[in-house]
A and B are shown apart, each in its own frame.
Chain A
Amino acid sequence: MSKDDSSCGRDSCGCGENDETADESFHPMGEDYEEEMREMLDDTEYDTELGMDMAEDAMALIQGEISEAEFHDKYNEAVVEEFDVDDRPTVDAFEEMNAEEDESIFKKLTGGGDIADKLAGLDADTSQSRRDTMKKMGAAGAALGLGGVASAQGGSSDPKDDEYGANPVGDTSDEGTQLGMVIDLNRCDGCLECVTGCIEENNTSSGANWMYVLSYEDESTEQENFLVRPCQHCTNAPCEKVCPVRARHTRDKDGIVLTNYETCIGCRYCQVACPYGVNYFQWGEPDTPFDELMGADGDYDEDSLKEMDYEQRNQLLTENNDHIYDERGMWSDSRPPQGVMGKCTMCPTRQDGHSGEEKQGTVACMEACDAAGMSAIHFGDVNDPESRPRQYMRQRAEQEFARDTELDNGEQWGETVTPWAKLSAFKLLEDLGTRPNITYLGNQPGPEAEQVEGPVSYEQIGVTDNRKEHLDQYTFGAGDD
Chain B
Amino acid sequence: MSSRTPSSDDIVRPMQSTSKWYYVLFGVASLLALVWFGLWSIQLSQGLAVTNLADWGSGGGVTWGLYIGAFIWWVGIAHGGIILSAAVRLFGMKRYLPVARLAELLTIGALSMAGMYIVIHVGRPDRIVTSVVQAYPVTVHQSPLVWDVTVITMYMVMTLTYLGLTVRYDLARLRDDLPDILEPVYKIATLGYSEAEDEVIERIVWWLALGVIVMAPLLLHGGVIPWLFALLPSMPGWQGAIQGPQFLTIALTSAIAGVIILALTVRRAYDWYHILTDDVIRGLTLWLGLFSLLFVWLQLQQVITGVYAAPLDQRTFAAAKVTAPAYQFAIGVVLIALAYIFAQAVRPSIFSVRRSLAASVMVLAGTLTEKILFVFEGIEYPTFSMYANTPGEYFPSLIEIGSLVGTIAMCTLFFMVILKVVPVIELHAIEELRGEGHSAPGDDD
Interface of B is mostly: loop
In angstroms, Cα B55 to Cα A174, docked, is 32
Contact assessment for A468 and B59 in the assembled complex, using a CB-CB cutoff below 8 Å: yes
In angstroms, Cα B33 to Cα A300, docked, is 42
Contact assessment for B389 and A432 in the assembled complex, using a CB-CB cutoff below 8 Å: no
User: Which of A57-65, A176-184, A260-268, A368-376 lies at the interface?
Assistant: A260-268
The answer to whether residues A450 and B388 also contact, given A242-B143, A244-B143, A467-B58 and a CB cut-off of 8 A, is yes
Kindly identify which residue among A245, A280, A452 contacts B131, using a CB–CB cutoff of 8 Å: A245
In angstroms, Cα B313 to Cα A214, docked, is 19
Closest chain B CB from A169 CB (angstroms): 21
Kindly identify which residue among A273, A341, A468, A476 contacts B50, using a CB–CB cutoff of 8 Å: A476
Is B139 an interface position by the 8 A CB rule? yes
For the side of the interface on A, what is the size category? 35 or more
Is B233 an interface position by the 8 A CB rule? yes
Contact assessment for B61 and A471 in the assembled complex, using a CB-CB cutoff below 8 Å: yes
What is the total of A-B residue contacts with beta carbons within 8 Å? 202
The answer to whether residues A467 and B54 also contact, given A276-B384, A450-B386 and a CB cut-off of 8 A, is yes
Q: Please give me the residue from chain A that is nearest to B141 by CB atom.
A: A241
Closest chain B CB from A467 CB (angstroms): 4
Is B393 an interface position by the 8 A CB rule? yes
User: Which of A13-21, A42-50, A281-289, A355-363 lies at the interface?
Assistant: A281-289
> Within A242-266, which residues are at the interface with B (CB < 8 Å)?
242-247, 263-266
In angstroms, Cα B400 to Cα A478, docked, is 13
Closest chain B CB from A476 CB (angstroms): 4
Contact assessment for B139 and A265 in the assembled complex, using a CB-CB cutoff below 8 Å: no
Is B2 an interface position by the 8 A CB rule? no
Closest chain B CB from A362 CB (angstroms): 24
Closest chain A CB from B68 CB (angstroms): 9
Is A466 an interface position by the 8 A CB rule? yes
Contact assessment for A275 and B383 in the assembled complex, using a CB-CB cutoff below 8 Å: yes
In angstroms, Cα B246 to Cα A278, docked, is 30
Interface size on B, residues (CB 8 A): 61
The answer to whether residues A214 and B387 also contact, given A263-B127, A272-B379, A476-B39 and a CB cut-off of 8 A, is yes
Contact assessment for B384 and A241 in the assembled complex, using a CB-CB cutoff below 8 Å: no
Q: Note all chain B residues with C-beta closer than 8 A to A447.
A: 312-313
Q: Note all chain A residues with C-beta closer than 8 A to B235.
A: 272
Contact assessment for B49 and A265 in the assembled complex, using a CB-CB cutoff below 8 Å: no
Closest chain A CB from B391 CB (angstroms): 11
Contact assessment for B139 and A243 in the assembled complex, using a CB-CB cutoff below 8 Å: yes
User: What 1/0 mask marks residues of chain B from 302 to 345 whose CB sits below 8 Å from any chain A CB?
Assistant: 00000000001100000000000000000000000000000000
Contact assessment for A476 and B60 in the assembled complex, using a CB-CB cutoff below 8 Å: no
Is A339 an interface position by the 8 A CB rule? yes
Q: Please give me the residue from chain B that is nearest to A213 by CB atom.
A: B58
Q: Note all chain B residues with C-beta closer than 8 A to A338.
A: 47, 123
Contact assessment for B387 and A283 in the assembled complex, using a CB-CB cutoff below 8 Å: no
Q: Note all chain B residues with C-beta closer than 8 A to A428.
A: 384
Contact assessment for B397 and A279 in the assembled complex, using a CB-CB cutoff below 8 Å: no
Is A462 an interface position by the 8 A CB rule? no
Closest chain A CB from B254 CB (angstroms): 23
Interface of A is mostly: loop
Contact assessment for B63 and A271 in the assembled complex, using a CB-CB cutoff below 8 Å: yes
Contact assessment for B139 and A467 in the assembled complex, using a CB-CB cutoff below 8 Å: no
Contact assessment for A268 and B135 in the assembled complex, using a CB-CB cutoff below 8 Å: no
User: What 1/0 mask marks residues of chain B from 126 to 142 whose CB sits below 8 Å from any chain A CB?
Assistant: 01101110110011001
The answer to whether residues A214 and B134 also contact, given A278-B57, A284-B47, A467-B58 and a CB cut-off of 8 A, is no
The answer to whether residues A242 and B123 also contact, given A432-B234, A451-B386 and a CB cut-off of 8 A, is no
> Within B353-401, which residues are at the interface with A (CB < 8 Å)?
379, 382-384, 386-390, 392-393, 397-399
Q: Note all chain A residues with C-beta closer than 8 A to B397.
A: 475-478
User: Which of B11-19, B144-152, B156-164, B274-282 lies at the interface?
Assistant: B144-152
In angstroms, Cα B54 to Cα A208, docked, is 10
Closest chain B CB from A80 CB (angstroms): 47
Closest chain B CB from A343 CB (angstroms): 10
Is A277 an interface position by the 8 A CB rule? yes
Closest chain A CB from B389 CB (angstroms): 5
The answer to whether residues A272 and B57 also contact, given A214-B387, A244-B139, A476-B39 and a CB cut-off of 8 A, is no
Kindly identify which residue among B48, B138, B398 contacts A281, using a CB–CB cutoff of 8 Å: B48
Q: Please give me the residue from chain A that is nearest to B393 by CB atom.
A: A468
> Within A413-470, which residues are at the interface with B (CB < 8 Å)?
428-429, 432-433, 445, 447-452, 465-469
User: What 1/0 mask marks residues of chain B from 19 to 57 whose CB sits below 8 Å from any chain A CB?
Assistant: 000000000000000000001001100111111111111
Across chains A and B, which 10 residue pairs bring their CB atoms closest together, nearest first?
Answer: A266-B123, A277-B57, A339-B123, A284-B49, A275-B234, A474-B49, A467-B59, A468-B61, A468-B54, A245-B131
Sample of 11 A–B contacts (CB below 8 Å): A207-B59, A244-B131, A271-B63, A275-B233, A276-B57, A282-B47, A283-B47, A433-B233, A466-B60, A469-B60, A477-B398
**Which positions in B face A, CB cutoff 8 Å?**
39, 42-43, 46-61, 63-64, 121-125, 127-128, 130-132, 134-135, 138-139, 142-146, 149, 232-235, 312-313, 379, 382-384, 386-390, 392-393, 397-399
**Which positions in A face B, CB cutoff 8 Å?**
207-209, 212, 214, 216, 227, 238, 241-247, 263-269, 271-285, 338-341, 428-429, 432-433, 445, 447-452, 465-469, 471-472, 474-478
